[in-house]
Amino acid sequence: MGEKGIYGKYRQAQITVPIIIGIIIVVIVALALLANQLRQAGTLAGFLQQENTDTAAVRAFVEACIRTETQGAVRVMAAQGGFIFLTREVVDVHGVGVPLVLKGELNLIPSRREMSDQLAIYLSEQIKDCADFSSFSERGLNISAKELSPTATISDEKVVMDVRWPIEVRKGETLQRLERFIHEEALALGAMHGVAVQIIKDTVEHPDVVDLTALSEFPFNVSVGPFNRTVLVYAISEKQSQNPLLFQFAVALQEQFPPRFESPDRFMLTDGEAFFQDLKATDPNGGEEGVDLIFTDDTTRFDILPDGKLVFVSEITGEFNATITLSDPTSLSFSKKIAFEVREG
């Protein structure tokens, strides 16, 4: 029994040795292949080395450019209503071109995707101009950079720049590569854009009303003021921020014209006889008599009906004047002073 036990252990050792030898051979072959690849791309020592101090300095330099240019670009985009490149009609507000993103019912505000694309296009040039690597030559570094490809993502509370930029950093026999830089800015550009979209939607649905109560319920400071008779400028800013982001846009409302009615300047009446006149209103905004368009008067001698019908019997001779006014729901109105002469029957 004892010999069998020893024989069994020996048999296990016989099986294990070839396996170990096979593993060693595989490792040697793999290392040889890796070493050959590394020799083609640079020295083995340089590749096995972790990112060194020189390369870290290059990375920090590029990241600082991305951070600075992103912060500036986002603030420009917000101040210009979601545009880096102004492709809309603008109004000048203290030297800043604020785009008209609503004209009548035509919604011209950019989508979040359009904003992201503009940001990426703009920053592709700005980052490249900012990252001047010439100063690194004094440290003995030879830096070569390929095509820069940034992607911008705008969410409610932050802007993320994902910059793919292959950069090679050589110093002597050492080669390092940098490929990707990611930077986040905690700026609520997306949330402000969402508020602007909602304001525009509300304006289209209710073009005659600015609901200040609704504006106060947004999680931002929202102000609105007239630029001229038909253009309103909105400003959205962060609350409780030392350097708040400011999102501005303008809406151009359809110019409203007052309704009108036609009437003679003077009416001749006979004492004791009924007088009837139906005044017809016209409204460029499509209002309906007696519903949207209301007639009123300023005299005690008669009462005109809201739809413009005037019926009364005068029992007092002589002449009197009455001003008849036609008003629409936006408080635009037209008035005319009319003379009434009552003669004896």
For 279-302, the pLDDT digits (tens) are 999 988 778 888 889 999 999 999
What's the pLDDT band for 32 if we cut at 50, 70, 90?
low
Answer yes or no: is pLDDT of 151 > 60: yes
Angle at 49 between CA 46 and CA 55, to 5 degrees: 80
What's the pLDDT band for 23 if we cut at 50, 70, 90?
very low
pLDDT of residue 320: 95
Answer yes or no: is pLDDT of 180 > 80: yes
Average pLDDT over residues 169-177: 90
Provide the terminal-to-terminal Cα distance of the chain, rounded to the nearest Å. 151
Which whole-number Å values give the CA distances from 21 to 11, 26, 182, 240, in the listed order?
17, 9, 45, 69
Name the residue with higher pLDDT: 46 or 91: 91
**Domain boundaries defined on the chain:** 2-41, 47-88+110-185, 191-252, 260-343
Answer yes or no: is pLDDT of 18 > 60: no
Name the residue with higher pLDDT: 98 or 5: 98
Look at residues 181, 203, 339, 162 and name the one whose alpha carbon lies nearest to residue 265: 339
The reported pTM is 0.63
Half-sphere exposure of 290 (CA within 13 A, CB side): 9
Answer yes or no: is pLDDT of 265 > 60: yes
Name the residue with higher pLDDT: 40 or 170: 170
Mean pLDDT, the chain, integer: 85
Look at residues 24, 245, 85, 61 and name the one whose alpha carbon lies nearest to residue 143: 61
pLDDT of residue 34: 44
pLDDT of residue 36: 53
Range among 50-59, 139-148, 248-257 rated most confident: 139-148
Answer yes or no: is pLDDT of 47 > 60: no
**What percent of the chain shows pLDDT beyond 90?**
63
Answer yes or no: is pLDDT of 45 > 70: no
pLDDT of residue 226: 87
User: What are 288's two structure tokens?
Assistant: 């309906």
Residue 140 CB contacts under 8 Å (≥ 6 apart), including other chains: 171, 172
Answer yes or no: is pLDDT of 44 > 50: no
Average pLDDT over residues 140-160: 94
pLDDT in tens, 92-120: 988 888 999 998 888 999 999 999 999 99
pLDDT of residue 119: 96
**What percent of the chain shows pLDDT beyond 70?**
85
| CATH top-level class of 260-343 | mainly beta
Strand partners, 42: none
Which residue, chain included where needed, has tokens 């010439």?
A: 134
pLDDT of residue 173: 87
Answer yes or no: is pLDDT of 318 > 50: yes
